[in-house]
């Protein structure tokens, strides 16, 4: 049985009732997977690639990871933070850390997948969406994937297009607004996981093999904004 090991931050984390309605993408993704695919979310609040590594979270994944599994790697929200415990440079330490994740997966015979961070819900006073909330990090991840020969699912671009299309008011239903414009409600987690699944479908086997058969025959059910 294949397993997905998901490394990431609070937008990915598998939440408990104590933080409801906040919901992570790893939870939303469960709706789309085959019953035989196991989800193992190691994502934690506030983690960057640096703090995830230094706290031994990747080492925990490495102990369980086996041949044929998948390592989903989604960071950026906290790598851009200025504090020394989390900050990485998009041109140096961020791609270097990503390569550690990639090499760990490959050493175990698993499939690494890089996933750029979802966009923040940023609108100006005129209701216009403001892209670019993650600066240089999404492009740095895409360059790393290209150099390493690893697939990259660009959730940043997809979610920026979606938020721009649906607008300020409608997008509030998906985020923890008015508390914040970064974390997701259940509806948002399912939506973002749907975008992720579109990326997996486009990659083909073995990535698309993770998805429920019904997902593979449902084309563009309001999710495709490409």
pLDDT of residue 221: 45
DSSP string, 111-169: EEEEEPPPPP--B-TTS-B---TTTTHHHHHHHHHHHHT--EE-HHHHHHHHHHHHHHH
CA distances from 5 to 41, 62, 69 (A): 6, 10, 8
Beta carbons of 181 and 19 less than 8 angstroms apart: no
Class of domain 3-216: alpha beta
Beta carbons of 104 and 71 less than 8 angstroms apart: yes
Domains in the chain: boundaries: 3-216
pLDDT in tens, the chain (226 residues): 799 999 999 999 999 999 999 999 999 999 999 999 999 999 999 999 999 999 999 999 999 999 999 999 999 999 999 999 999 999 999 999 999 999 999 999 999 999 999 999 999 999 999 999 999 999 999 999 999 999 999 999 999 999 999 999 999 999 999 999 999 999 999 999 999 999 999 999 999 999 998 765 444 444 444 4
pTM exceeds 0.85, yes or no = yes
Spatial distance between the Cα atoms of 174 and 153, rounded to a whole number of angstroms: 20
């Amino acid at each position: 049985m294949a397993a997905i090991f998901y490394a990431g931050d609070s937008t990915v984390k598998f939440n408990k009732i104590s933080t409801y309605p906040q919901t992570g993408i790893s939870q939303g993704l469960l709706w789309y997977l085959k019953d035989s695919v196991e989800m193992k979310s190691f994502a934690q609040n506030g983690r960057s690639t640096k703090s995830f590594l230094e706290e031994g979270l990747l080492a925990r994944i490495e102990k369980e990871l086996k041949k044929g599994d998948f390592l989903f790697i989604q960071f950026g929200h906290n790598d851009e933070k200025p504090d020394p415990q989390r900050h990485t440079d998009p041109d140096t330490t961020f791609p270097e850390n990503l390569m550690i994740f990639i090499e760990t997966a490959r050493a175990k015979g698993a499939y690494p997948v890089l996933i750029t961070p979802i966009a923040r819900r940023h609108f100006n006073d005129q209701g216009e969406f403001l892209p670019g909330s993650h600066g240089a990090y999404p492009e740095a991840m895409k360059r790393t994937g290209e150099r390493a020969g690893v697939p990259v699912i660009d959730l940043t671009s997809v979610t920026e297009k979606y938020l721009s299309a649906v607008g300020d008011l409608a997008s509030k239903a998906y985020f923890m607004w008015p508390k914040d414009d970064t974390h997701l409600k259940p509806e948002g987690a399912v939506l973002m996981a749907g975008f992720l699944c579109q990326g997996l479908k486009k990659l083909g086997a073995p990535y698309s093999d993770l998805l429920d058969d019904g997902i593979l025959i449902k084309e563009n059910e309001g999710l495709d904004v490409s």
